[in-house]
Amino acid sequence: MKIFLDTADINEIKDGLSMGLIDGVTTNPTLISRIKGKDFRTVVKEILDTIDGPVSIEAIADDYEGMVKQGRKISELGENAVVKIPVTTEGLKAIRTLSREKIKVNCTLVFNPIQALFAAKAGAFFVSPFVGRLDDISEDGMFLVEEIKSIFDNYSISTQILVASVRNPMHIVRAALIGADAITVPYNVLLKLPSHPKTNEGLRKFADDWKKVSPDGSFPL
């Protein structure tokens, strides 16, 4: 399963890359709005130039012509640019047009399996079910991922499932068990992934016992 970072913060991306964990990046207008002192183009170019993998950037128009125009401009910024388009009736038309031009589209804000199926039929490269936002309204976001996975398997659909709106490490475990192609993770969740209380407990015990070998804690090699 590919792991993307859900951020527009270049320092978070560099840190994720240094851990060897990050295969791509997803942004959205909210994440971009948190970056102060840099214009949109600069933020996006810096991300595209920092990572080889796919970087999703959202078109903000809500009409077909606007989405296609913005999508083409986004795709010109880098070979790894992926255009985020929502599944609306206008969005589906834009997904079809951009995909036919070989521009990769990440269909965003997917909340039911029909939206995912329609986006795939229109040619989307990724579909992004927003699992956390469904959990927020007492639905089971990961069940949506299971449904999409079954439908795509039934019809050998090649569109990739990119699990989004991730809130906790269990979303990642469940996504991997279901067989999602990719998941996009906020930086704070990424940092929680490798930690375990028993690992910390074990490290404390080893450090205490090491003092019996080397009272000043130094390593004698």
- Residue in 84, 93, 192, 211 annotated catalytic: 84
- Window 146-175: contact mask with ligand E4P (x via CB under 6 A): ------------------xx----------
Total of chain residues touching ligand E4P, rule CB under 6 A: 12
Is residue 184 near ligand E4P by the rule CB under 6 A? Answer: yes
Q: Binding to ligand E4P by residue 130, rule CB under 6 A?
A: yes
| DSSP per residue, the chain | -EEEEE---HHHHHHHHHTT--SEEE--HHHHHT--SS-HHHHHHHHHHH-SS-EEEE----SHHHHHHHHHHHHHT-TTEEEEEE-SHHHHHHHHHHHHTT--EEEEEE-SHHHHHHHHHHT-SEEEEBHHHHHHTTS-HHHHHHHHHHHHHHTT--PEEEEBS--SHHHHHHHHHHT-SEEEE-HHHHHHTT--HHHHHHHHHHHHHHHHH-TT-----
2: contact with ligand E4P by CB under 6 A:
no
Examine the residue annotation and report whether 104 is marked as an active-site residue of this protein.
Answer: no
Piece of 8-16, 85-93, 127-135, 202-210 that binds ligand E4P (CB under 6 A) = 127-135
- Chain residues binding ligand E4P by CB under 6 A are 6, 26, 28, 56, 108, 128, 130, 132-133, 164-165, 184
State the catalytic residues: 84
